[in-house]
Chain A
Amino acid sequence: MNGDLSSFSMRELFLAESETQCCILSDCLVALEIRPGDHLLLESLMRAAHSLKGAARIIDLDPAVRVAHAMEDAFVAAQKGEVVLGSSAIDRLLRGVDLLSRLASAESPAEMQDEVEIFVAGAAAPEKTSAAPAAAAPAAESPAPNAKAEDDSRSLRVAAESLDQLLGSAGESLVASRRIRAFSNDFWRLHRHQRKTAATLENTIASASGGGDVTSSLRQLQTMIESGDRLVLTGLAEFERFERNAAQLSQRLYGQALACRMRPFGAIVSSLRRAARDTARILGREVTFEVRGEGTDVDRDLLDSIESPLLHLVRNAIDHGIEPPQARTAAGKPAAGRLVIEASHSAGFLVIRVSDDGRGVDPADLRSRVVAKGLTDAGTAEKLAVGELLEFLFLPGFSLRSEVTEISGRGVGLDVVQSAVRESRGTVRISSEPGQGTAFLLQLPISLSVMKALVFEIAGEPYAIPLARVDRVLKVLAEDIESIEGAQYIHVDQSRVGIVDGAAVLGRPVDRDGHGEVNVLLLSSADGHFGIVVCRFIGEGEIVVQPLDKRLGRVRDIAATALTEDGSPMLLLDVEDFLLSVRRLAAGGQLHGIAAKSGGPEKAASQILVVDDSLTVRELERKLLSSLGYAVEVAVDGMDAWNAVRTGRFAVVVTDVDMPRMDGIELARLIKNDARLRDTPVIIVSYKDREEDRLRGLDAGADYYLTKGSFQDEGLARAVADVLGEESTP
């Protein structure tokens, strides 16, 4: 085998081992700070450093050998009682752990020689620890994130137990498949028996037509038929048993294969604990860090992608939430703040709650900050509900504190958390009680590939919808459907629920005859319930989600595909998108693409699409532009907008940047990359007023980048007139 290849794979092995050992080192060091001199901890630390040293030696990674060796020495000295590892020593040793993990993944470890020398020199003099401040260490503050290979050939670490179980089941399946052979033997035996019976029957007919006595032959035939029947029954019983086992086995295989994708939530806890400890130490806070639900299974890809938003929330909670000890004592709280992270499965979702018992967010203070930043005027700010107000915290560059600390100086805000969570198809909400604390609630899919779904038929074809999004299913008599101004509704628990035909929403032929029972799926969105009429319900179960062909781009109302139990393809509805389409239909058929009001006076005016997820901003823009004589349609987010823009009816698109599902940047990019739509001007209107945000928008192809203050100074009106080539604004 090729020499390069072998050293590459050894390197990968080392990387895997260093991840494990660094986790142990980091966990035990943090624990050691609370229980100084604990022998069991020191023992584990010593062993981890020792193993790492050995492994580094095998792959000739000399710098790592030296770092691990220096750490081992420090632990041995502490074991012997020669030194006491205080907080600053632990700081330094933790930096050593960082150094090790960076060395393990570094392309050229030799370049880090200086850092290694500084560390080794420092570690060799542990008694001087208290005199050496943290600043003496090199800037090892932000370890280079391991560039995670995106390709499918990456190696995964799977718990040995999971793999063993999977192998066991696969072996069983192999044995089971050999048993099928026995059934074909049974069939052959039965076939021979039938032939014999047929031959006997023929002889009997011959002798009967010759006038002979056939009674004994008939008796013989009777026996043969009965024994043939027994053959069939025995085979059948055997076959049914086999079928049951095979079904169970397949189910098990599937579950075990799935388990290989899962990791316990606890796998990322050590880095969170470490972040909490480091942050608290730098900021002079006392924090008890608590984790609940460490055993909660999480899809490994998801776990990777939520680690950094969680790290950020932990730092944020200590930096902005938990007060300094004196302030806490003065407020009658215990000096040590509590930071709790809870993970659990709830209603088919992974729910992670990060809460602290710190100062919370003062609505009045936040309101004045929002106004001071020019994000809105004082009048509007007064009207904002607390929930709406808290949403401002997710804007880039928006920080609760005015001082720049080492932590907030990292230049990342809660906007990063929000976009990371949205990328994983999740949501993040914030709630806060002034003086009592703040909580962030993350709701995420348990797996990116498997979900519980309700399967039903629309226009004779199977569709699925995430079970968590279904309120109820019911059957109503066609006679019980009433209508008002052309909109149909039914009564559910004393309230009227508008219903629409699922086939109409999807643009499939409607095949309901208006008699008998009608199947209705109840869904709800932020602004109410909707009933969807479907052909029939097929059932609920776990489906394995497969993405749509990438080249298809986005398909309105459709999120992904899957296979039914019998292997037919089905489509998974995009609930948000679908509800939007439903809402339009229910509101009286104002469906995009349907040429309503064609030939009307509005035709003459230029069509403008206004895209914003905030109702207030949307309405403001709509009114402003309508008053200038433009025909305006609205969309509530990028994806909604993209579906509308594709029809090619719009002269201008005015869009916000931060929106769920698809942001304005992506929308602009899609429009500008489409040969047919490329010439449609895109105007971005955003709260984000930093230069890099502007550049990002213009890079994506936007023709204008305006900030939301532009409503007042007519910037928007001018921009629209400009891109439409009008000489003067009306």
Chain B
Amino acid sequence: MNAAFFEREPALADRERWRSEIAAAPPTSDHEGRLVLFVFRIGGERFGIEPAHVELAAPLPVIHSMPHRGVSIAGVVNVRGGVTLCFSLADVLGCAPGASADRPMLLVLAHGGWRVAARVDEAEGVSAFAQSSLQPTPSTLQASGRTHVKGIFESGDGRGVGWLDGNSLFGAFDAAAR
């Protein structure tokens, strides 16, 4: 490879193509039309969120607590040199935290230009779900009006995965921050 290759201005067509490729949202469904979700676990509950919202999943770093603030704010963490607000997802989603997690992870989630971090008990990674297997959330949850779950998928091992609604979840983060 020669240096001149890198110094050359890329062709306009290439640049246009790159721009549109970068700007496009990552695919949320695979070639079979199944929905792709990033799955994680908090206590005994499993959730999935569109991979477009997940910027980073990393081993849990030091979290600095935030004085005078409620339990939904876990504190602040260092995400690639930027101090980022970290939420307790267990509290925001209203689920019981696990007694102890073997591999606690930090998820960095982004939506509409806002980036936050959240602690989860385990990050399982990306899985695909058939749209046909989507079931509605239990009516008790719907009645409470607090749910951020659009529906429930059944994963391979027969356990449910709650499909999180990005808008609603970030709305909950926003409310918890104030």
Tell me the smallest distance from the CB of A351 to a CB of chain B, in Å: 30
B73 contacts across to A, CB distance below 8 A: 552
What is the 8 Å Cβ interface bit string for chain A, positions 480-515, against chain B (1 contact, 0 not)? 000000000000000000000000001110000000
The CA of A567 and the CA of B77, in the complex, are separated in Å by 10
Cβ-closest chain A residue relative to B114: A551
Interface residues of A toward B: which range?
20 to 34
B120 at the interface (CB under 8 A from A): no
Given A551-B114, A551-B177, A553-B178, do A562 and B67 touch, yes or no (CB 8 Å)?
Answer: no
A552 contacts across to B, CB distance below 8 A: 66, 69, 73, 85, 177-178
B63 contacts across to A, CB distance below 8 A: 569
B102 at the interface (CB under 8 A from A): no
B13 at the interface (CB under 8 A from A): no
For window 83-137 of B, CB contacts with A under 8 Å fall at 83-85, 114, 116
A551 contacts across to B, CB distance below 8 A: 85, 114, 173-174, 177-178
Contact of A569 among B68, B69, B77, B177 (CB under 8 A): B77
Given A549-B85, A568-B78, do A555 and B178 touch, yes or no (CB 8 Å)?
Answer: no
B66 contacts across to A, CB distance below 8 A: 552, 555, 558, 571
Tell me the smallest distance from the CB of A460 to a CB of chain B, in Å: 9
B82 at the interface (CB under 8 A from A): yes
The CA of A15 and the CA of B153, in the complex, are separated in Å by 58
Tell me the smallest distance from the CB of A575 to a CB of chain B, in Å: 15
The CA of A95 and the CA of B112, in the complex, are separated in Å by 47
Cβ-closest chain A residue relative to B84: A549
Tell me the smallest distance from the CB of B72 to a CB of chain A, in Å: 12
A462 at the interface (CB under 8 A from B): yes
What is the 8 Å Cβ interface bit string for chain A, positions 537-562, against chain B (1 contact, 0 not)? 00000000010110111011110011
The CA of A371 and the CA of B54, in the complex, are separated in Å by 64
B61 contacts across to A, CB distance below 8 A: 568
A553 contacts across to B, CB distance below 8 A: 177-178
A643 contacts across to B, CB distance below 8 A: 68
A238 at the interface (CB under 8 A from B): no
Tell me the smallest distance from the CB of A180 to a CB of chain B, in Å: 20
A90 at the interface (CB under 8 A from B): no
Listed residue (A548, A551, A557) with the most chain B CB atoms within 10 angstroms of its CB: A551
The CA of A674 and the CA of B178, in the complex, are separated in Å by 9
Given A549-B84, A549-B85, do A555 and B78 touch, yes or no (CB 8 Å)?
Answer: no
A462 contacts across to B, CB distance below 8 A: 64
Tell me the smallest distance from the CB of B172 to a CB of chain A, in Å: 12
Determine if A507 and B67 form an interchain contact, defined as CB atoms under 8 angstroms apart: yes
Contact of B64 among A507, A555, A570 (CB under 8 A): A570
Tell me the smallest distance from the CB of A52 to a CB of chain B, in Å: 32
Tell me the smallest distance from the CB of A74 to a CB of chain B, in Å: 45
Determine if B76 and A561 form an interchain contact, defined as CB atoms under 8 angstroms apart: yes
A558 contacts across to B, CB distance below 8 A: 66-68
The CA of A65 and the CA of B9, in the complex, are separated in Å by 35
Given A549-B85, A553-B177, A562-B83, do A569 and B76 touch, yes or no (CB 8 Å)?
Answer: yes
B81 at the interface (CB under 8 A from A): yes
B82 contacts across to A, CB distance below 8 A: 546
Tell me the smallest distance from the CB of A647 to a CB of chain B, in Å: 10
* Number of interface residues, chain B, beta carbon within 8 A: 25
What is the 8 Å Cβ interface bit string for chain A, positions 567-583, against chain B (1 contact, 0 not)? 11111000000000000
Determine if B83 and A563 form an interchain contact, defined as CB atoms under 8 angstroms apart: yes
Tell me the smallest distance from the CB of A573 to a CB of chain B, in Å: 10
Determine if A555 and B68 form an interchain contact, defined as CB atoms under 8 angstroms apart: yes
Contact of A461 among B65, B116, B177 (CB under 8 A): B65
The CA of A556 and the CA of B69, in the complex, are separated in Å by 9
B65 contacts across to A, CB distance below 8 A: 461, 508
B24 at the interface (CB under 8 A from A): no
Determine if A569 and B64 form an interchain contact, defined as CB atoms under 8 angstroms apart: yes
The CA of A672 and the CA of B167, in the complex, are separated in Å by 25
Determine if A506 and B67 form an interchain contact, defined as CB atoms under 8 angstroms apart: yes
B143 at the interface (CB under 8 A from A): no
What is the 8 Å Cβ interface bit string for chain A, positions 124-164, against chain B (1 contact, 0 not)? 00000000000000000000000000000000000000000
For window 443-463 of A, CB contacts with B under 8 Å fall at 461-462
B22 at the interface (CB under 8 A from A): no
Tell me the smallest distance from the CB of B142 to a CB of chain A, in Å: 23
A546 contacts across to B, CB distance below 8 A: 82-83
Given A549-B85, A563-B78, do A568 and B67 touch, yes or no (CB 8 Å)?
Answer: no
What is the 8 Å Cβ interface bit string for chain A, positions 643-668, against chain B (1 contact, 0 not)? 10000000000000000000000000
Tell me the smallest distance from the CB of A543 to a CB of chain B, in Å: 11
Given A568-B62, A569-B76, do A561 and B68 touch, yes or no (CB 8 Å)?
Answer: no
Determine if B67 and A569 form an interchain contact, defined as CB atoms under 8 angstroms apart: no
Cβ-closest chain B residue relative to A558: B67
Tell me the smallest distance from the CB of B116 to a CB of chain A, in Å: 8
Tell me the smallest distance from the CB of A450 to a CB of chain B, in Å: 15
Cβ-closest chain B residue relative to A561: B83
Determine if B64 and A568 form an interchain contact, defined as CB atoms under 8 angstroms apart: yes
The CA of A548 and the CA of B75, in the complex, are separated in Å by 11
Determine if B68 and A571 form an interchain contact, defined as CB atoms under 8 angstroms apart: no
A507 contacts across to B, CB distance below 8 A: 67-68
Tell me the smallest distance from the CB of A37 to a CB of chain B, in Å: 52
For window 94-119 of A, CB contacts with B under 8 Å fall at none
Tell me the smallest distance from the CB of B112 to a CB of chain A, in Å: 11
The CA of A558 and the CA of B83, in the complex, are separated in Å by 14
Tell me the smallest distance from the CB of B128 to a CB of chain A, in Å: 33
Given A506-B67, A551-B174, A561-B76, do A569 and B62 touch, yes or no (CB 8 Å)?
Answer: yes
For window 372-427 of A, CB contacts with B under 8 Å fall at none
The CA of A562 and the CA of B82, in the complex, are separated in Å by 9
Tell me the smallest distance from the CB of A621 to a CB of chain B, in Å: 27
The CA of A243 and the CA of B136, in the complex, are separated in Å by 58
The CA of A558 and the CA of B66, in the complex, are separated in Å by 9
For window 10-55 of B, CB contacts with A under 8 Å fall at none
The CA of A555 and the CA of B85, in the complex, are separated in Å by 13
Determine if B67 and A508 form an interchain contact, defined as CB atoms under 8 angstroms apart: yes
A567 contacts across to B, CB distance below 8 A: 78, 81
Cβ-closest chain B residue relative to A557: B67
A568 contacts across to B, CB distance below 8 A: 61-62, 64, 78
The CA of A674 and the CA of B78, in the complex, are separated in Å by 29
Tell me the smallest distance from the CB of B173 to a CB of chain A, in Å: 8
Tell me the smallest distance from the CB of B80 to a CB of chain A, in Å: 10
Contact of B69 among A555, A563, A570 (CB under 8 A): A555
Tell me the smallest distance from the CB of A535 to a CB of chain B, in Å: 14
Listed residue (A569, A570, A571) with the most chain B CB atoms within 10 angstroms of its CB: A569
The CA of A462 and the CA of B62, in the complex, are separated in Å by 11
B84 contacts across to A, CB distance below 8 A: 549
Cβ-closest chain B residue relative to A1: B12
A555 contacts across to B, CB distance below 8 A: 66-69
Tell me the smallest distance from the CB of B54 to a CB of chain A, in Å: 19
The CA of A40 and the CA of B6, in the complex, are separated in Å by 48
The CA of A546 and the CA of B78, in the complex, are separated in Å by 11
A674 contacts across to B, CB distance below 8 A: 178
B85 contacts across to A, CB distance below 8 A: 548-549, 551-552
Tell me the smallest distance from the CB of B11 to a CB of chain A, in Å: 12
Cβ-closest chain B residue relative to A553: B178
The CA of A553 and the CA of B65, in the complex, are separated in Å by 16
A569 contacts across to B, CB distance below 8 A: 62-64, 75-78, 83
The CA of A571 and the CA of B62, in the complex, are separated in Å by 13
Closest 6 CB pairs of A and B: A561-B83, A506-B67, A549-B85, A551-B177, A569-B64, A568-B62
Additional pairs, 5, CB under 8 Å, beyond known A558-B68, A569-B78: A461-B64, A552-B66, A558-B67, A563-B83, A568-B62
Chain B positions near chain A (C-beta within 8 angstroms): 61-69, 73, 75-78, 81-85, 114, 116, 173-174, 177-178
Chain A positions near chain B (C-beta within 8 angstroms): 461-462, 506-508, 546, 548-549, 551-553, 555-558, 561-563, 567-571, 643, 674
Q: Could you list 17 A-B pairs, sorted by A, with CB under 8 Å?
A: A507-B67, A546-B83, A551-B177, A551-B178, A552-B177, A553-B177, A555-B66, A556-B67, A557-B68, A558-B68, A561-B64, A567-B78, A568-B62, A569-B64, A569-B76, A569-B77, A571-B76
